[in-house]
Chains A and B, each alone.
Chain A
């Protein structure tokens, strides 16, 4: 690599200012950045719907009282393309959710991070390579 192309590579490495591409809607309008929340629950229902998937979980509090929460994810189309189906996350599975609570204070949160209790990722992830897939 000559000096000028090395300089360009350095410039490229600094190109970190671009605004990330957004989801279907602004999550900042729906969820409260000041209300981070961590939930541990069992999967009660999986809605693989567009524009966003919703995973419903039952969460038990310290007194043993169970309440239902709805967790928002992304489009199911991406998951289907990677072989994920509604059977991939069976009802009754225990999951951990780290996200932000809905601004209206109801039992909804975005699934900023969703993992199994042993730390394993539920979904095999990352941007798929470019076509042909």
Chain B
């Protein structure tokens, strides 16, 4: 009986470890090292996935899909995202822009089978904005409405090729260009993002952050190694870098851990007391991808900006009696 109990206990332990692995939390695999002895995160990675950042309301209370549910979800999203479809209003048709072959958003949910990237709060949703942050969001929306196409300065940052809302930090998947290249050198880690083509250079030599009066679109990142994990803290964002309603008080912590040869677990925590009623955290297992990254010289070919403004001027002319 004792032997049976022990066998049962061992089996239970194995099962627990196995389930931890599914969550990507087991760090049993030892990643290779760079010549200067740091965990080697280098290579090309992709975070293309159809797992949403926030858990859809319909899936409340359900943090994980079963295999059958995952397959159904993937099928449903593939149909919804199919840009070759021509149903709906002309406005919907224009918004779909062009055929499906231009898009590259992935077709699968994350391998942990989570129903949202957000893991905390447990409901998988972004916590509510503070009343002050709500006021600022409303103010910005009103400004955009009134000054929609006054000139290039009032157009969205993405359209101006300044900042893409998902290119990060924090880095989230988008409709295409979900590719990242990590290069390491002693005292530095560089992350090249295909979308908008920013190279984020992160010192890991323990130097302090920039003075608080220096503000940058991508903030100011500092890295450090905790075991096999690269921890990056980013502050000094501008007040125009509004990630889901955040402000210049945003303090972002990212964690990069290789959990097996093909996976880079990416976690980030958003702390901004002035903007969110509580901190929140998300995770995305990034997957090894084939390179190379292609250049995204966004503003070089940004005919769209000129066309949008020309369109607005033409509409104004037509509206005049």
A interface list, Cβ under 8 A from B: 1, 5, 8-9, 11-16, 18, 20-34, 36, 47, 49-54, 70, 72-82, 100, 102-106, 108, 110-114, 121, 123-133
* Listed A/B pairs (7) with beta-carbon separation below 8 Å: A12-B69, A28-B95, A33-B91, A51-B304, A77-B176, A121-B101, A132-B289
Q: How far is the CB of B116 from chain A (nearest CB, A)?
A: 12
Q: In chain B, what residue has the closest Cβ to A9?
A: B72
Instruction: Please report the C-alpha to C-alpha distance between residue A132 and residue B52 in the assembled complex, in whole angstroms.
Output: 21
Residue ID in chain B nearest A125 by CB atoms: B101
- Partner of B288 from the list A32, A73, A125, A132 (CB cut-off 8 Å) is A132
From known contacts A104-B311, A113-B99, infer whether A72 and B290 are also in contact, taking CB-CB under 8 Å.
Answer: no
- Inter-subunit contact A13/B72 (CB<8 Å): yes
Contact A125 B99 (CB under 8 A): yes
B98 A74 Cβ-Cβ under 8 A = yes
Look across to chain B and name the residue whose beta carbon is closest to the beta carbon of A14: B58
Complex contact A79–B101 (CB within 8 A)? yes
Q: Which residues of chain B are within 8 angstroms of A34 by Cβ–Cβ distance? A: 90
Report if A102-B311 is in contact (Cβ < 8 Å); known contacts: A12-B76, A15-B56, A112-B96: yes
- Residues of B within 8 Å of A52, CB to CB, are 301, 303-304
Contacts of A54 in B (CB 8 A): 301, 303
Q: A34 to nearest B CB, angstroms?
A: 7
Let me know if B68 is at the binding interface, CB within 8 A.
yes
Stretch binding the partner chain, chosen from B14-22, B103-111, B218-226, B266-274? B103-111
Alpha-carbon separation in the docked complex, A36 to B89 (Å): 12
Docked pose: A37 CA to B308 CA in angstroms = 18
CB pair A131 B97 closer than 8 Å: no
Partner of B297, one of A12, A50, A100, A126: A50
Interface residues of B in 218-254 (CB under 8 A from A): none
A111 to B314 CA separation, bound complex (whole angstroms)? 21
Name the residue among A23, A33, A103, A133 with the largest chain B CB count within 10 angstroms: A23
B100 near A125 (CB under 8 angstroms)? Answer: yes
Give the contacts of B263-312 with A (CB-CB under 8 A): 287-290, 294-298, 300-305, 307-308, 310-312
Check A28–B94 contact: CB distance below 8 A.
yes
